[in-house]
Amino acid sequence: MKRSFAQTWEIARRDLVQRAKSKAFLATSLLVVGMILVLGPLIANELDDPPPYRVGVVGAADEEFGAYLDVAAASFERDAVIERFDDLAAAEQDLEFGDLNVIVVDGTEIIWLEEESSQLNSVVLFALQSIERRDIAEELGLTSDEALALLAPPAPEFRTLREPDPEAEPRRIGALIGSILLYTSILMFGQFVMMGVVEEKSSRVVEVLLSRVRPTQILVGKVIGIGLLGLAQLALLGAVVWFTLTQFSIADISLADIGRDVIVQVVFWYLVGYTFFAVIYAALGATISRQEDMQSVALIPVALLIPGYFIALLSLEDPNTTLSRVASMVPPTSPLVMPMRLAVGGVAAWEVAVALTLLAAASYGLIRLGGRVYTGAVLKLGPKVKLRDAWRAAGQ
């Protein structure tokens, strides 16, 4: 038992070290760290300080237009910037390129790129209406106090049933990034497992290994070793994300705390989800002997992963639809959907328990199943081994 464990750990260690040195791993790690360092500040900035409305003005414009625009934009916690154009064509070109959000011509025409933005529309309309009302009040000879009284909206008391959660939006964005990270990690390290299995088969070293250890030890060792490498990469990425987030703060919200919560969820669900998928990757890898054949069989686990990924994205909008709730408890979708529901909030403890129990049971079954397929297929060189033949061969 002790010896068997030591051997399995040695296999895990080799796979971890060798794969960590591989160009594929180093390149993707650097790429993702770079992306976080570049995109992190951009996203945090967006949350903290949404960009101003850029309003192009062509032709005649009231001198107070800008002031009214600012007042209206402020109610959405945005700024408004006015750019003046002598030429409508030039303004339209800027609108095309996204440098402007809207164009106002002579105070009488509003031009959008494709469709109006309801928020900005109300801001612009408010500014135009305010100018018109001011002029009418002047024509009627009202004093400014009278005009104000006439135009003042009613002032009912407002109250809300509950406080808005200022963390909701940052959490949603964190969960989105988390789901991408989780999906890509399971995919990438699952593929590494498959590559490792195929390499050992195509280089034929596997028979040398099997004279010393049992097939399931190779399978489990490889899944552990590459899984730990994935964990190390996630830890690194998590640290980079966390560090990036500590550099920003939005009012009273601790982005670092939210980031930490999401990272913990991603790491935990990576471990359970990766185990499930890595065994599938390993068993399928054992049925082929050449790297060229990998593409075709690698599609199978991807096809199992993708529904979970899309349901996870849907869950960000509404985490409590029947689809999201069921998918968050049943494998193979649960490892991707449950953490997203958890990140958004409102998941019952029993749902998490059901998800983990089912996943543990399925993983155990898969290790038995995948182990048998691996055993039956790993010594068969040449063309692709049928799953049924591998199953039978292992029984002989």
Partner 1 sequence: MLSLVNLSKRFGDVVALDGASFDVPAGRIVGFLGPNGAGKTTAMRCIFDLVHPDTGEVLWGDAPVGPAERLRFGYMPEERGLYPKMKVADQLAYFARLSGKNRQEAKDDAAAWLTRLGLLDRADSKLEELSHGNQQRVQLAAALVHNPELAVLDEPFAGLDPIGMESMAETLRELAGRGVGIVFSSHQLDTVEDLCQDVVIIDRGRIVLTGELSRLRSSARLRHLVIEVDDQAWSPDGEEVTVVVTRTGDRRLLVEPSVDLDALLAAARTAGTVTRFSFEPPHLSDLFREAIQ
Closest approach of partner 1 to the CB of residue 15, in Å:
11
Please list the residues that pair with 204 across neighbouring strands. Answer: none
Nearest approach, Cβ of residue 17 and partner 1 (Å): 9
Least distance (Å) between residue 224 CB and partner 1: 15
Rounded to a whole number of angstroms, the minimum distance from the CB of residue 6 to partner 1 is: 8
Q: Which residue number, 70 or 200, has a Cβ lying nearer to partner 1?
A: 200
Give 343-378 as a 3 state SS string.
HHCCCCHHHHHHHHHHHHHHHHHHHHHHHHHHHHHC
CB 223 → partner 1: shortest distance, Å?
Answer: 17
* Residue whose structure tokens are 């399971």: 186
How many residues are listed for the chain in this entry? 396
Q: Which ranges in the chain belong to alpha helices (H)?
A: 2-20, 23-48, 65-74, 88-96, 118-139, 144-151, 168-202, 206-210, 215-246, 255-286, 294-317, 322-327, 334-344, 349-377, 387-395
Tokens of 109: 């025409």
Query: Smallest Cα–Cα separation from 245: which of 260, 257, 253, 255?
Result: 255
List residues binding partner 1 (CB under 8 A).
Answer: 3-4, 6-7, 10-11, 14, 18, 199-200, 203-214, 379, 381, 396
Q: Retrieve residue 42's tokens.
A: 């951009």
> Do residues 318 and 145 make contact, with C-beta atoms less than 8 angstroms apart?
no
Smallest gap from residue 380 Cβ to partner 1 (A)? 11
DSSP-derived pairing of the beta strands 80-85 and 102-105: unpaired
